[in-house]
Structure 1
Amino acid sequence: MIARARLLAVVLVVACGGLGVISSTQTWLSVVLSGAASHDLTVSGAAAVPVLAPLSLAVLALGGALSIVGTVLRYAFGVLTILIAVAQGYLAAHVAFTHPVSAVARTVTDATGIAGDSVSGLISSITANAWPVLTLAVWVLLLAVGVFILATAHRWNDSGRRYRAAPFGRHGAAGRLDAVDSWDELSRGEDPTGSGEPR
């Protein structure tokens, strides 16, 4: 299980970020306006929670970076993952369970041209569909993944070492260099022929 912990964490973080982006494009709320402006409006996740899309993209980036970073950054990314999950979860729950006027105000203003405190007087009802609750579940999962990262990061295989430069004098211990190793030696200013004199 520990051997696959990094892969599991990366896949789940990326999946949560992707679902967050998808959710931002879906309809979260339906608004019925009253009076002369009477008609129905739909409010997307991005309109109800303006930070939903950018923070979801940040989660996607975190997932990609998590696959290569070292131990210290794993913990930093784990904490950041938890913070994003808590913030997004709070906002999704607020929309799902309280149906705030603030979540639909921009959409109502765009449709009617009326802004400010007058917006609430135009609204007859606000109804949420399943997307806010589904998105809340995604952020609860992300919170669990963040805790999982913090609990297991110290035992992950250090795949980031493949991106580090080989130690100086590698040819002396590892034998004959191939073409790629020779280029690496040259990029460090070493003589790949083994003379040990920097160029």
Structure 2
Amino acid sequence: MTPVWARKSTLVLLIAVLALAVFGTTTQTWITVTLDPDQAGQAAGGQNSLAVQGSKAATAVTALALVALAGGLAASIAGKVARWVITVIVVLAAAGIVTAAATVLSDPLSAAQGSIAAATGVNGSRAGTEVTAFPVLAVVVGILLALGALLIVPAGRYWKSRTKYDAAVSAAGAGTSATAAGPVDEIDSWDRLSRGDDPT
């Protein structure tokens, strides 16, 4: 009996949910910037504060979340070797997510410079920054995503379904065996010849 954690639907859904959760964090405010009083007047509308979304503070996180999502979905139809490749890809994507989010946490001002420059027209400004909980959430979910991806290989041993290619090969093999066991007529001979078998 297949354990709950090893079920294909469960594992693929888990990776998809985690990847979407990471993607969701990037749509939220990661950094709240308090602009320098000398530059606040240059900002659009004279605002003295600026909200920086995760997609702008760590642009790589959005792309890596989509890569992880695609990898998780691909695992549901992948063969044995392909599952190893997908596992590596998703783990690397998760590592990139954690690294990018941790970089924002360690130096939020640098991560916000692009948004500050876009709002004020000045690069390298000094401003106060306050980090929200979403970068931390991205780190935590990224770690969980990597752990979930590592389950693909051991769980794959319980997955009985095959790809369409494998099913076609299996059906062809069964047909060949059945033909070999029974009487061979002209039509069967041509069919075997088209498959590369010598009916003689």
Measured against the shorter chain, the TM-score band is 0.7 to 0.9
Letter paired with 1:51: A
Q: Is the 8 A contact 1:21 1:56 kept in 2?
A: yes
C-alpha distance in structure 2 between counterparts of 1:137 and 1:23, whole Å: 11
Letter in 1 for 2:175: R
Q: Does 1:37 align with 2:39?
A: yes
1:28 is paired with a residue whose SS is: strand
**Residues 7-46 of structure 1, C-alpha deviations (whole Å, 9 max, x = no match):** 2221111112111221121111100011222310000011
Identify the residue that residue 189 of structure 1 maps to in structure 2: none
Instruction: Give the corresponding residue for 2:145.
Output: 142
2:111 maps to which residue?
Answer: 103
Change (3 A) 1:167 1:78: same
Q: Tell me the residue number matched to 1:50.
A: 59
Match of 2:88 in 1: 79
Change (3 A) 1:195 1:81: same
Could you tell me the TM-score, scaled by structure 2's length? 0.77
Q: CA deviation at 1:73?
A: 0.9
Aligned with residue 131 of structure 2, among 117, 128, 152: 128
Structure 1 unpaired stretches of 5+: 175-192
- What's the CA shift for 1:6? 2.3
Aligned pairs for 1:1-199 (under 5 A) are: 1-2=2-3, 4-38=6-40, 39-96=48-105, 98-115=106-123, 119-121=124-126, 123=127, 125-153=128-156, 155-164=157-166, 165=168, 166-167=171-172, 170=175, 173=178, 195-196=187-188, 197-198=190-191
What TM-score comes out, normalization by structure 1 length? 0.77
Tell me how far apart the structure 2 counterparts of residues 169 and 150 of structure 1 sit (CA, whole Å): 28
Count of residue pairs brought into register by the alignment: 174
User: What displacement does 1:169 show?
Assistant: 6.5
Name which of structure 1's ranges 15-24 and 56-65 shifts more when overlaid on structure 2: 15-24
Cα distance, 1:70 vs structure 2: 0.6
Residues of 2 paired with 1:92 and 1:162: CA distance?
Answer: 39
- Taking the aligned partners of 1:77 and 1:65, their CA distance within structure 2 comes to 8
CA RMSD, Structure 1 to Structure 2 (Å) = 2.4
Q: Are residues 34 and 16 of structure 1, via their aligned partners in 2, closer, same or farther at CA, if it must alter by over 3 Å? A: same
